[in-house]
Amino acid sequence: MNFPGFDGNEALKARLSAAMASGGLSHAYIIYGESRGSMEKLAQILAAAMVCSGTDEKPCTHCKDCRKAFGGIHPDIKLVLKEKDKRNYAIEIIRNMAADAFVMPNEAEKKVYIIPEGDFLTDLCQNAALKVLEEPPAYASFIILAENPGNFLETLRSRCIELFVGLDDSEAPENNSLASDFIRIFKDGDPLEMASFAVGLEKLGKAELTDFLEKLYAALVREMRYGIAPDKEPYFKACDLISLLIKMAERNVGAGAISGALAVGANTILK
């Protein structure tokens, strides 16, 4: 699969290319991310790949369908917009989309609906969308863009392939094994394991400790945004704790005191 103008996100690209090679793209995606530009670019590429009528790797970018798709004028790629002066999507808009999905495409083999502001789909709207997502006509596909997975009903999420876009690779917790160890122990919730993890931090120098805390903060934010845990409260509290510890480190509080505060603080949150 081609990804013109969409940088980075190599793992995501590999995953989509593999899907494309083995049977084609899914009929429903939710794209999450912090960068609206990247999310919209990926939605455009997916939609173009779905309607592409070229014989080269999709989206070929030069067939008539790709040219219209990338020009934003393909009649079978429909942007489902909410009313400008309303906070949420009106239910009629989603019902109209669901009804329209049963009208055959105009030019392409597929018809693609892009919902750019998925964070503003009420439960009622999501249930209306769900009806068509569960049993869509073979040619209909749906792409929802959103910042927060927590806004979606499980029933809707389970019908969609979820894609996470645009996160800076340097923020990934795997780039700091201590941060990913902390997240794992925090999820397990074993206070003794947390205490012995903290003891291991005492030998870190100031720069290493600060680096760990900053990566950990980013990893916790990532868990809050993209993690599957339904209860985000412990992550909010852990972020508060870590930002306090970062301030302590900046004021040259020793690694022993900081690691002690981390263990006590984390175990208090987990109680």
Q: Interface with Zn ion by CB under 5 A: which residues?
A: 52, 54, 60, 63, 66
In the bound complex, what is the minimum distance in angstroms from residue 53's beta carbon to Zn ion?
Answer: 6
94: closest CA among 51, 123, 74?
123
Task: State phi, psi for 143 to the nearest 5 degrees.
Answer: -130, 120
Distance CA 104, CA 96 (A): 14
In the bound complex, what is the minimum distance in angstroms from residue 166's beta carbon to Zn ion?
Answer: 24
Choose between 62 and 184: whose C-beta lies nearer to Zn ion: 62
In the bound complex, what is the minimum distance in angstroms from residue 54's beta carbon to Zn ion?
Answer: 3
In the bound complex, what is the minimum distance in angstroms from residue 36's beta carbon to Zn ion?
Answer: 25
Q: What does the H/E/C string look like for the chain?
A: CCCCCCCCCHHHHHHHHHHHHCCCCCCEEEEEECCHHHHHHHHHHHHHHHHCCCCCCCCCCCCHHHHHHHCCCCCCEEECCCCCCCCCCCHHHHHHHHHHCCCCCCCCCCEEEEECCHHHCCHHHHHHHHHHHHCCCCCEEEEEEECCHHHCCHHHHHHCEEEEECCCHHHCHHHCHHHHHHHHHHHHCCHHHHHHHHHHHCCCCHHHHHHHHHHHHHHHHHHHHHCCCCCCHHHHHHHHHHHHHHHHHHCCCCHHHHHHHHHHHHHHHHC
Choose between 15 and 67: whose C-beta lies nearer to Zn ion: 67
Choose between 107 and 188: whose C-beta lies nearer to Zn ion: 107
In the bound complex, what is the minimum distance in angstroms from residue 43's beta carbon to Zn ion?
Answer: 16
Choose between 66 and 224: whose C-beta lies nearer to Zn ion: 66
Choose between 63 and 194: whose C-beta lies nearer to Zn ion: 63
Choose between 66 and 238: whose C-beta lies nearer to Zn ion: 66
Are 53 and 65 in contact by the 8 Å Cβ rule? The answer is yes
In the bound complex, what is the minimum distance in angstroms from residue 233's beta carbon to Zn ion?
Answer: 46
In the bound complex, what is the minimum distance in angstroms from residue 46's beta carbon to Zn ion?
Answer: 13
Choose between 72 and 230: whose C-beta lies nearer to Zn ion: 72
Neighbours of 233 (CB within 10 A): 10
